Amino acid sequence: MNPPGNEYIMGRTSQEYQRLRSQARVWEPVTRRLLGRLELRAGMSCLDVGCGPGEVMRVLGEIAGPTGRVAGLDVDGNLGREALGVLQATTPCRFTFTDGNVETLEEIPGAPFDVTYARITLVHVRDPIAVLRKMYAWTKPGGYIVVQEYDNCSLTVYPEWPGMVELEKVLGGVYAKAGRDQFLGRKLPTCFDEAGIGPPDGSEVASELGPFSQYGPMCKAVYSSLLPIALKTGITSGADSEAYFREVEKALSESKYTVLFPLLVGVWKRKPA
């Protein structure tokens, strides 16, 4: 295993890919709402940085239509190519995919774009400011840079749930070990400024609230994806993780708890024409 700092902390398992698709379903209405606030049009060109399973590429493709184009970029080539195959077969738009690391890539085919977009990607890179700078350089004058990122400040299970301490320990512990910022969402305006983009033109901040039966499985899936690093680096133990999974099962059988999701903070800026 690579040292923390160089790896994708959620791992690359089929369970994690499934979790990414479930997560995308949760946030699709929020992303659509955010994109609906911009002056987007058929025929536009878009780039989705860290496109993962391609769910936002699909949404962008629906807006851009058959005369538009949507490029995906992801360091996970297998996931991106699979997404590309599905998109090309189902959504009338011109889709492409680049297998690459946004931190080391200097150029991307198709740049500049009318929209450069990233969701829950900056939190996984070493230098989010450098990536923002790059995204802005790949944006056409008059085009948009749009970013949505997590801020874990709101993550709560109510009433007090015995599994929460372990979830926070592993979530906070792995992020810190890897040098990732679990409160990046609130810092996006500052990050835009630091990257030379200037203050965002607007923001869209959202969360989700639902019964444990609906969102408890996500608490389990996030924890499970982080667990290999947490065990390897001594953030948690086998016994603590087994106790956590027991608490999840107990809560799922009790219908007494409510889960409040992390915030998804979205910001955008239109590049001067």
Cβ proximity to ligand SAM: between 105 and 243 the closer is 105
Of 121, 152, 182, 236, which lies in the binding site for ligand SAM, with binding defined by CB under 6 A?
Answer: 121
SS (H, E, C) the chain: CCCCCCCCCCCCCHHHHHHHHHHHHHHHHHHHHHHHCCCCCCCCEEEEECCCCCHHHHHHHHHHCCCCEEEEEECCHHHHHHHHHHHHHHCCCEEEEEECCCCCCCCCCCCCEEEEEEECCHHHCCCHHHHHHHHHHCEEEEEEEEEEEEEHHHCEEECCCCCHHHHHHHHHHHHHHCCCCCCHHHHHHHHHHHCCCCCCCEEEEECCEEEHHHHHHHHHHHHHHHHHHHHHCCCCCHHHHHHHHHHHHHHHHHCCCEEECCEEEEEEEECCC
Q: Which of 101, 190, 237, 253 binds ligand SAM (CB under 6 A)?
A: 101
Interface pick for ligand SAM out of 47, 75, 83, 184 (rule CB under 6 A): 75
Please state the closest distance from residue 178 (CB atom) to ligand SAM, in A: 11
- Nearest approach, Cβ of residue 254 and ligand SAM (Å): 30
- By CB under 6 A, the residues from 19 to 38 that bind ligand SAM are 20, 24
Tell whether residue 83 is a contact of ligand SAM (CB under 6 A): no
216 scored as a contact of ligand SAM (CB under 6 A) = no
Per CB under 6 A, does 76 bind ligand SAM? Answer: yes
Q: Which is nearer to ligand SAM, 51 or 229 (CB)?
A: 51
**Min separation Cβ 249 and ligand SAM, Å:** 26
Under the criterion CB under 6 A, does residue 120 sit at the interface with ligand SAM? yes
Q: Which residues bind ligand SAM (CB under 6 A)?
A: 8, 20, 24, 50-52, 55-56, 73-76, 79, 101-103, 119-121, 124-125
